[in-house]
A and B are shown apart, each in its own frame.
Chain A
C-alpha cells in the first residue's frame, strides 16, 4: 500500500504517467512474490481452532480463533482471532 500511495502522489503531481505507475506496480508484485519466496528465511508455526472457512471466487478465507504462534526464534505469542485470506500464487485461470 505504501508503494500505491507513493505512485498516487507521483501521478497526481504529473511526475509520472499512469502507465509507468502500473508497470512499477506490476514489477513490484512480481518481485515481492519472488523475494518472499526465495529470500525470506523466517518461519512461524501456529495452532488454533478453525472457526470459519470459505472458498469464494478463487479466494480462501480462514477465521481461526485462540491461536498460538511459535516463531523460529522461540518467541511465542497468542491472539484471540486471526483472518487468513489467500489465493493461488500461480495459475490465474484454468
Chain B
C-alpha cells in the first residue's frame, strides 16, 4: 500500500542530496525510515566511497555531515579489508577535505564529524598511522593533505608548525586529539589485537601534549580564549584515557602531568574559571593519583589564596556562584583526606579545608532552598569519618591511639552540632512559601545529615548520644521546640545502634524522665505538630528501651492511643503503636483488654482510615501473639475478627445497593486488615527456643489450632474470604487475599493463620484465566509448594496434584505463552517448583500440550515466560537434587529423548538472534545442562545448526561448524560456554560483543 512515504532509489548525486536534506527535515517516521534505508543501501554499496567524496563538495552542511558519516560507515564495514593503496587514498581524501573545509571556515558540526571519521580511519585502517596529529598539522600548514612517512619523528616538529596555524586550525587539531583519546579509550587494552593501538598512543601523547601546551599559551582574551577552553576539554579527555591504560606508565603520564601548571592557570581566567573548576574537580574526584604531592601543594595554595576568599564572600552574599568553588574545595578535601585528618595543622591547607566546610554549613539559609552548598559538604564529611573509622578499626587493638584522634573527635563534635542546627525545621511562614523541590531538598539534607551522624556515632558513641540529649534538653528548657525536634530526629536515626549498647541507657533515660512527653501530651500547649510527630516516632524507635523499662510502657501506649485521635498525628501514632506493640508484645499482654476497647473507640473517630486501622489492628494482633497458651489467643483474636466481619458485611451491603466503589473500599480494607492481623500473629524470628522443651512427646502433641476450637477461629478467618464474592474482580482484593494466605505459609509452627492447605488449593481452583492478579495467586501456590518441599515438612501430594491440574488448565486456556506472558511465566514457575520432591506428580498431571507450551515459551519473544521455561528445562535436565523413583527418572529420560531436539532448536533460535542481550545468561543455562548431562546434544546441535531455518547471511556454514566444535569443547566450563554463545549471538545479530 502506498502511504505516500515510499522512496524511489535516487539516480544521481543531486537526488541523493535532496534525499539527505529531506532526511534532516521533520516528517513522518515511516518516511524517515524509508529515506534512511535508501541512503544506507547507497552507503554500503561499492560506490559508497565515491558518493561520500562527491557529497563532501555540497554547499549544504547537513549533506557534508552525511558525507563524513558515509566515510565512517564504509570504514566500519570495509576498513580492515582495504588494500594499502585504497586505504592511503581514503586517508588523503579525508585530510584534504578537512584542510579545505577549515580554510573555508567550516563550522563545528562537520569538522568534528570529520575528526571522528579520521579517528575511525586510525582505528580501522590496515595501515599504521603513527603521527596523526603531526600529519594534520603539516597538512594545515601546507594547505593540502600531507602524510608523513612512518619514520621516527621528534615532538619538536609539531612545535615548529603550531605557530603558523590559525585559531580554527588549532581548535580542529584539538578536536582530533580529543576524538583519538576518546575512541581509543573504548578499545580493550588487554587484547593482543588492540595492544598496538595503545602503544601508538604513547607516541601520540607527545604531539598532543605539545599541542595542548601551545594552546594553553594562547591569549586569554577574545577568540583565542576558545582555543584555551578547547585545550582544557582535550586535556580532560586525555587524562580519562590515561587513567585505566597507563597506571604503570609514568613516562607517558608525565606528558600530561607536565601540563597541570598551565591548565591550572585557567582557574584564574574569568572566562574559563567555571569550566576549569569543573575539570579540576572531575580529576580530583575520579583520578586522585594523577596529582603528585607537588601538584597537591600547588592546589592547596590555590584553594587557600584564591578560592577561600571568593567562597567566603559568596557564602556571605548567598551568591550561587559559590557552588563550583565549594565543589572544588570538597573534591580537594576528599582527595587529600589522609593529610586533612592526620596533619590538621600542616601547610597543605588541611585546616583551610576543614574551616571552609564549617563555614559552608554555618552559612545562612535552609538546605534545599537558598542554601545549595551544605548538602554538598556531606560527601566530604562522609569521606572524613570513613577514613577515621577505617584507620582505627584496622590498627591493632593494643596499639596506642593515633595522635590526631583527639583533634578529630573535636572536629566531629563540632560537625554534629552544626548539622543539628542546620536541620531545624523552618518557621511556618518560610515553609508555606516552599514548593515540592525545596521541601524535598530540605528532607534530603536531613536524611543525609543523620546518615552521616550514624557513621560519626561509630567513633564518638556515648559522647555523641550525650551531646544530642543535652541539645534536646537544653532546647526543651528554653521551649525551643524546633531545636528539640531536630535533636529527637537525630536520636531516632541512632536508635538501632544506641539500643545495642545497654551502657547508653542512662543517657536515654534523661529524655524519658524529662518533661518532654508530659509537654507533648498536653494538647493545650502550642507545640509545632512536627515536633509532636517526631516525639511520637521516638517512642516507636526506642520500643526496646521502653520494653526494658516497663514503668514507661502503659503511659506511653495510652498517650499514643490518645494521639491517634488527633488529626495530623494519627499516622505517626499508628506507626509508633505498631512498632512499639510489636517490640514490647510480652509486656503489654495485661493491657490487651484496654487496648481492644480503645480500638473500638478509635473505629468511631474521624482519624480512622484504612492506614491507621490496618496498623493498629496489626499492633493488637502482635500482643495477642505473645499470649500463652495458644488457647488464650482465640478469644481476643475472635474479637478482632468481628471487626473484619463487620467490614465484610458492609462491603456486601454496599454491593447489594449498587455502590461498587464503597464495596471495593470496604472489601479491600477488610482483607488488608486481615492480612495485618496475620502478620502481627507471626512468631517473631528472635523468639528464644527452650531446648529442654524439645522432646518428642511435645512434638507429637497436636496443636491447639488443630483442635475443634482452634479450627473454629480458622473458619472465621476463612469466612472473611466470602467478601471475594463481591470484590473478587478487583486486583487489590485478590492481592490482599493472597497476603492473608502468605502470612500463614511462612510459619514453621501451627497458628491461627496456618490454614489447611486445602484453603489455598480451593482458592486456586476458583480462579479462571480472567481472574485479576492470577500471577499473584499462582505465586502463592508456588510458595506453598516450596514450603512443603523443605526437609522434614509434610508432603502434600494430593493438594499439589490439584494445583498442577489447575495450572495445566490455565496453560491450555492461554494456548500460547504470549497470550498473557506474566501468567504463563507463573504457571511454568509453579510446575518448576514440583522438582524434585513432586516430580512424580509433575508427570502424572503434565500432558504433551503442557510440555509444548513450555517449549513454546523458550522459543517465544517474551522475556518472563522464556526465563522460567529455561529454568524449568534446566532443572529437568540436571540430575534431581533429591532421590526420585526409577519410574520418574524413566519419564524424565523419555521426555528428553522426545523433546531434546526441539529444545535445542528453540535455544538456537534464541542464540541466532531472537534473544536480547539481557536474556542470554538464562538462555545459556539449559544449553550448559544439555552439554553436561545429555549425550545426544552434539547430534541435536549439529542438526539444528544445519537446518535451513537457521541460515543467516552473516554467519557461514564454517562459522556454524566452528561454533559447534568450540561449544562442545566448552562443556565442562560454563563461563566459556557463555562467552562463546555471546560472541556467536553477536555475529548473528551483527552487533558488538560488549559495550566496553
Contacts and interface: CB of A to CB of B under 8 A. Distances in A.
A7 B286 contact: no
Interface string B147-172: 00000000000000000000000000
Interface in B34-72: 36, 40, 44, 69, 72
A11 B995 contact: no
Interface residues of B, number: 37
Interface stretch (B207-215, B265-273, B824-832, B986-994): B986-994
A19 B916 contact: no
A4 B72 contact: no
Interface stretch (B391-399, B440-448, B518-526, B776-784): B440-448
A43 B447 CA distance: 9
B744 to A, nearest CB: 16
Given A17-B73, A90-B286, A91-B288, A4 B917 contact: yes
Interface string B332-368: 0000000000000000000000000000000000000
Contact of A12 (B73, B447, B913): B913
A65 to B, nearest CB: 12
Nearest to B123: A19
Interface string B245-284: 0010000000000000000000000000000000000000
B120 A4 contact: no
Contacts of B989: 8, 11-12
B615 to A, nearest CB: 9
A33 B560 CA distance: 42
B243 interface: yes
A1 B917 contact: yes
B443 A7 contact: no
B76 A18 contact: yes
B918 interface: yes
Nearest to A89: B286
A36 interface: no
B118 to A, nearest CB: 13
A64 B991 CA distance: 37
A5 B919 CA distance: 9
Contacts of A21: 992, 995
Contacts of B120: 19
B186 interface: yes
Contacts of B996: 22, 25-26
A41 B52 CA distance: 50
Contacts, number: 77
B387 interface: no
B382 to A, nearest CB: 12
A8 B287 CA distance: 31
A19 B285 contact: no
Nearest to A90: B286
Interface string B408-440: 000000000000000000000000000000001
A93 B244 contact: yes
A45 B447 CA distance: 12
B665 to A, nearest CB: 21
Contacts of A45: 496
A24 B247 CA distance: 26
B575 A74 contact: yes
Contact of A5 (B44, B244, B918): B918
A19 B247 contact: no
Nearest to B988: A12
A35 interface: no
A27 to B, nearest CB: 12
B797 interface: no
B575 A18 contact: no
A59 interface: no
Nearest to A6: B916
A72 interface: yes
B510 interface: no
B804 interface: no
Contact of B917 (A8, A18, A66, A94): A8
B786 to A, nearest CB: 11
Interface residues of A, number: 29
Nearest to B571: A74
Contacts of B44: 14
B917 A5 contact: yes
Interface string B516-547: 00000000000000000000000000000000
B555 interface: no
A36 to B, nearest CB: 13
B598 interface: no
B289 A17 contact: no
A4 B995 contact: yes
A90 B285 contact: yes
A2 interface: yes
B73 A41 contact: no
Contacts of A66: 685
B91 interface: no
A18 B991 contact: yes
B763 to A, nearest CB: 23
B116 interface: yes
B183 interface: yes
Contacts of A74: 575
A2 B247 contact: no
A22 B186 contact: yes
B968 to A, nearest CB: 27
Given A41-B443, A72-B447, A90-B285, A12 B991 contact: yes
B683 to A, nearest CB: 13
Contacts of B247: 93-94
Interface string A21-45: 1100110000000000000010101
Contact of A19 (B116, B244, B918): B116
Nearest to A45: B496
Given A43-B447, A92-B286, A1 B76 contact: no
Contact of B992 (A2, A15, A22, A93): A22
Contacts of B575: 74
B916 A8 contact: yes
Contacts of A4: 917-918, 995
A22 B72 CA distance: 15
Contacts of B186: 22, 26
Interface string B173-190: 000000000010010000
A11 B243 CA distance: 29
Contacts of A5: 916-918
Contacts of B917: 1, 4-5, 8
Interface in A38-77: 41, 43, 45, 47, 66, 72, 74
Contact of A41 (B72, B243, B444, B991): B444
A48 to B, nearest CB: 11
A1 B73 CA distance: 26
Contact of A91 (B36, B287, B918): B287
Contact of B243 (A12, A15, A47, A93): A93
Nearest to A5: B916
Nearest to A1: B918
Contact of A14 (B40, B496, B685): B40
Contacts of A8: 916-917, 989, 991
A75 to B, nearest CB: 11
Given A43-B447, A93-B243, A11 B990 contact: yes
The 5 closest A-B pairs by CB, nearest first: A1-B918, A5-B916, A93-B247, A25-B995, A11-B991
15 contacts: A2-B918, A5-B916, A7-B995, A8-B991, A11-B991, A14-B44, A17-B73, A19-B120, A21-B992, A72-B447, A90-B286, A91-B286, A92-B244, A92-B286, A93-B244
Interface of B: 36, 40, 44, 69, 72-73, 76, 116, 120, 183, 186, 243-244, 247, 285-289, 440, 443-444, 447, 451, 496, 575, 685, 913, 916-918, 989-992, 995-996
Interface of A: 1-2, 4-5, 7-8, 11-12, 14-15, 17-19, 21-22, 25-26, 41, 43, 45, 47, 66, 72, 74, 90-94
Given A17-B73, A19-B116, A90-B286, 12 more contacts: A1-B916, A4-B918, A5-B916, A8-B991, A12-B990, A14-B44, A17-B69, A22-B996, A26-B996, A91-B289, A92-B243, A93-B243
